[in-house]
Structure 1
């Protein structure tokens, strides 16, 4: 049997260590599917229900493993469906290769059925973006695409017309320069230099050593360098603020951290930002500048691997271009241990008080069930090396505050895109990458409903993910955003009857439980976590529990009150919930 171009494609990916492709077949990629069939002993194809989920899975796989994530979609609408997941990869800097189909070269430009020029559509999302028009291109362009995805930390895209997919592997119709034979050894991506110059390191040390009140802002770029970050915090007596994607950089019980920043952050972090005169930014391009110090108010040292991102958010006095770990290794010997620990101790005390307030909201004595209690019980019963994936929305608030990073725990969500629905496909991809670890998807009912068919995907592939649906029968985050803007709620609460997602899980062949009483939650969660296979726990939570900012501004409070006065239909229930929250926090003191 003659080798076809699609086999060359798959073999080229295998040389880069790729062993998994997430996707959905279609007539625009039948040739590639045949290539996958012929290489099925060395390349696994993970069949999904929706191309958007395939792109999310490739993104999660890349985030969790550091390896290339690969997704596959047919021409036209299939490729279009990839875009949301690919933008998630682009904005969170995950190396992903998207492979799509295209109509035969002989009909391109004739408005043929499903003729969507994906190489044009993907121009914004892709760092490297090519349509293959000659079989001879394939080995070389695959290598360039993979290097671009790794080197630029983003999306590469290759689209294959149908006739090219099934062409003879050695065909060279235009008689161009003969293609180079692929090297015998596996290709290698070499990272650029990651250590700043001694001159820049000395400048940074001078700024940090002379700071009066220093803080560290750590993002996902500091992942793997947590101990070094804590050593810097110890030397500078500097509290560590964590971005949400950077939640797993240091443990949540670290004596140095004040937790998160922004709407989902903590009150101590908000106070700290207003108090400092010097900021060390480590591997973060945190976009919400209103939660950062005012420009010019603080001296800034920023460690960033990509020089184009330095100073994007704050004027940066000393940029250090490099890997966070390698940079801190070189910087730490230059830092003087600060004798005055008052600044750090002040925020350690505030953080102790914050933890007490959060603990007060985790009590089991409220019905409807408090979502904070659900997140707390997941935290209590999950394994020490569990991976939690999360959707955007109110669940992100509960996860940020009540899912505690310690041991080998990890946490993933759509950071900068903040899209709905990645939680479930993320869990599927990460469970595939780490079959022996406990992987939990903590999702809202609105997001779960978008891609709920992928629970069946987990069943098909025997992936024992655990899905916890925080079911408030509404688009909870939008509800509260409307109120903070001073608008009475509109279009954010779903109707009756409430869908039974546990019944869907059972119908799909998994384990499904629904809980609507707090006293039943612990046993139901233990049961779900102990199932040897996919399980879903549908928890009916209080829809009137507000995801309040760590520190409420006067303007937010005024608009919140205005929404009540302008006809908020659930103001009695919301007021009751807020009153109960306050009572429980006061009891702890």
Structure 2
């Protein structure tokens, strides 16, 4: 059977054997001959009924029973062994973001479960379905301060939409069903924690025989995402606001993914430039005649200018959190479309809130829109965007030494396939990707959005390459983020996943460096001075391809070689550590505090000033 899941994906659930509850000691479907079925097998079987075929995790004595269940059903579910539980959660999150399917991660009790949290918060804040499964001490010792006794169900309360400790084997089939439905339905994290003795109990045991357990239906489960459509009355109100607007813009977020052609049709009708949130970068191509780049610190100058200029804003599938980059309250009429009613209107006053799927809503709204004959507003920002592209192109110059990170990002954009998937970390690396990696064809782009955590780029790439073995998957990461979870490159080698890893190596925590300066403080504690690990050597030692580049002239050939390498490949690129990730539009306060940092004794001010001067010269030459 086929289950519809969020993101308009389709999941093959498989026929699966229904869970049979019967006499203790009888062998049930899926178990090995001569062995009674374990509760952990019921767990795995229940997951396969939902189409789960991959679990990312790290074993431990708190989940040995679940590992045995996975071993007995290894023909149905693949266990991807990672080096750190945080990576398992990131992989589950990246898998869910890219496929729309449930991501599943597994960790042992105590510290193992604790390590999952950062990756799970990434799933929570970016609204993707993930199921976390953890171990727990035996029920007989709970509450006795036993070794590694951490009440993970309590710890996970804030991160989860559904959170339950299993205390009776008979609970398992029904609670797995509820957990998966909740993760899909509420677009978030579900958590089930299993005490050791429950994991290895025989299936079907109900020690207290009190009431009938919550069992799932005997057919393969199906989750149908409702095609939410606003009422005709609300659609009419929205169309009235948009038709009366003289200077309209569209802000598209990841909730509009899959509705790109409809978003462009709306832009054409309204004469509206499209600005994109970072997570929504892949909603429409960057070369669309309506696209004017991003918004916020990582955005473009046209994106910043249009926000100050418009009288009407159409927000599509976005919960953009940085309100200082949005129009001031009361200045602009707002129509917002979001599938979640709790997110409509929380960032700025909304004149017409439309609760619905972006694609379904636009299909109903488009016939009500009147095409604006005056294209002056749109043409103004199309010209500004052309000027912005020229400035960015100037910064991609290959003659600069040290290597400009913009040049590295541009070469990636040039040399990668049109259906490539780029994953990214947080930091300056996100700025270079946002501005110099262009969405075209079937390209996709993933990073930690609202959590903006470091280190998910590599785990995301591993999971997405596992999900899409035939696609080119590149992790574009900084040296700071890579060093945190670098062991997962070995995971890619072990499973034969041909990811390509490109390190933008400035030997520093670049984003924090510039944030300190914008606050008016000289940099402190952000450069890894006196230590330059040989990441290329690590890649080769791990069994993959590894190379290092220090000169711009060597970069094109080295990047081609890495992309063409058979299997996982790592290219470590030494870039200019003093290249500033300047906002698209610099405020007076930012400029003043930046200058103050120099006057207070910024230790790298000569190198930074030189870099800024070179950037300005390159931009002037581009005019």
Same fold (TM > 0.5): yes
Q: CA offsets, 1:518-576, max 9 Å, x none?
A: 00000000000001100000000000000000000000000000000001000000000
User: In the aligned structure 2, how far is the partner of 1:88 from the partner of 1:213?
Assistant: 35
User: What are the within-5 Å matches in structure 2 for residues 6-21 of structure 1?
Assistant: 6-21=40-55
Displacement of 1:182: 4.2
Which shows bigger deviation, 191-200 or 217-226? 191-200
Please give the root-mean-square deviation of Cα atoms over the aligned residues, in Å.
Answer: 0.7
**Given the alignment of the two structures, is residue 29 of structure 1 paired with residue 73 of structure 2, yes or no?**
no
Q: Corresponding residue for 2:552?
A: 518
Displacement of 1:179: 3.1
Q: CA offsets, 1:12-46, max 9 Å, x none?
A: 00000000000000000000000000000000000
Q: In structure 2, which of residues 486, 494, 500 is the aligned counterpart of residue 460 of structure 1? A: 494
Displacement of 1:177: 2.1
Q: Corresponding residue for 2:271?
A: 237
Q: Corresponding residue for 1:509?
A: 543
User: In the aligned structure 1, how far is the partner of 2:526 from the partner of 2:582?
Assistant: 18
User: What are the within-5 Å matches in structure 2 for residues 129-278 of structure 1?
Assistant: 129-179=163-213, 182-278=216-312
Q: Corresponding residue for 1:360?
A: 394
Q: CA offsets, 1:141-173, max 9 Å, x none?
A: 000000110000000000000000000101110
User: In the aligned structure 1, how far is the partner of 2:111 from the partner of 2:356?
Assistant: 40
- Structure 2 unaligned runs (5+)? 1-34
User: What are the within-5 Å matches in structure 2 for residues 376-525 of structure 1?
Assistant: 376-525=410-559
Q: Corresponding residue for 2:346?
A: 312
SS at match of 1:550: coil
Give the ranges of 4+ consecutive aligned residues of structure 1 lying more than 4 Å apart after TM superposition: none
Q: Corresponding residue for 2:320?
A: 286
Q: Corresponding residue for 2:142?
A: 108
Q: Corresponding residue for 1:54?
A: 88
Q: Corresponding residue for 1:529?
A: 563
Q: CA offsets, 1:73-95, max 9 Å, x none?
A: 00000000000000000000010
Which shows bigger deviation, 25-34 or 188-197? 188-197
User: In the aligned structure 2, how far is the partner of 1:405 from the partner of 1:191?
Assistant: 27
SS at match of 2:263: helix
SS at match of 2:475: strand
TM-score, L = length of structure 2: 0.94
Q: Corresponding residue for 1:568?
A: 602
SS at match of 1:153: coil
SS at match of 1:133: coil
TM-score, L = length of structure 1: 0.99
User: In the aligned structure 2, how far is the partner of 1:182 from the partner of 1:581?
Assistant: 62
Displacement of 1:193: 4.4
Q: CA offsets, 1:228-273, max 9 Å, x none?
A: 0000000000000000000000000000011000000000011000
Q: In structure 2, which of residues 104, 120, 125 is the aligned counterpart of residue 86 of structure 1? A: 120
Q: Corresponding residue for 1:553?
A: 587
User: In the aligned structure 1, how far is the partner of 2:170 from the partner of 2:490?
Assistant: 39
User: In the aligned structure 1, how far is the partner of 2:143 from the partner of 2:217?
Assistant: 36
Displacement of 1:496: 1.5
SS at match of 1:33: helix
Q: CA offsets, 1:338-391, max 9 Å, x none?
A: 000000000000000000000000010011100000000000000110000000
Residues 174 and 215 in structure 2, CA contact (< 8 A), matched pair in contact too? no
User: In the aligned structure 2, how far is the partner of 1:181 from the partner of 1:555?
Assistant: 61
User: In the aligned structure 1, how far is the partner of 2:274 from the partner of 2:471?
Assistant: 28
User: In the aligned structure 2, how far is the partner of 1:465 from the partner of 1:20?
Assistant: 18
SS at match of 2:275: strand
User: In the aligned structure 1, how far is the partner of 2:226 from the partner of 2:302?
Assistant: 37
SS at match of 1:82: helix
Displacement of 1:183: 3.0
Q: In structure 1, which of residues 342, 365, 379 is the aligned counterpart of residue 376 of structure 2? A: 342
Residues 489 and 539 in structure 2, CA contact (< 8 A), matched pair in contact too? yes
SS at match of 1:194: coil
- Structure 1 unaligned runs (5+)? none
Displacement of 1:174: 1.1
SS at match of 1:519: helix
Q: CA offsets, 1:424-471, max 9 Å, x none?
A: 000000000000000000000000000000000000010000000000
Displacement of 1:189: 1.1
Displacement of 1:192: 3.2
Q: Corresponding residue for 2:3?
A: none
Displacement of 1:180: 5.8
User: In the aligned structure 2, how far is the partner of 1:576 from the partner of 1:549?
Assistant: 19
Displacement of 1:178: 3.1
Residues 522 and 597 in structure 2, CA contact (< 8 A), matched pair in contact too? yes
User: In the aligned structure 2, how far is the partner of 1:435 from the partner of 1:83?
Assistant: 28
1:181 to 1:208, Cα distance in 2 relative to 1, 3 A:
closer
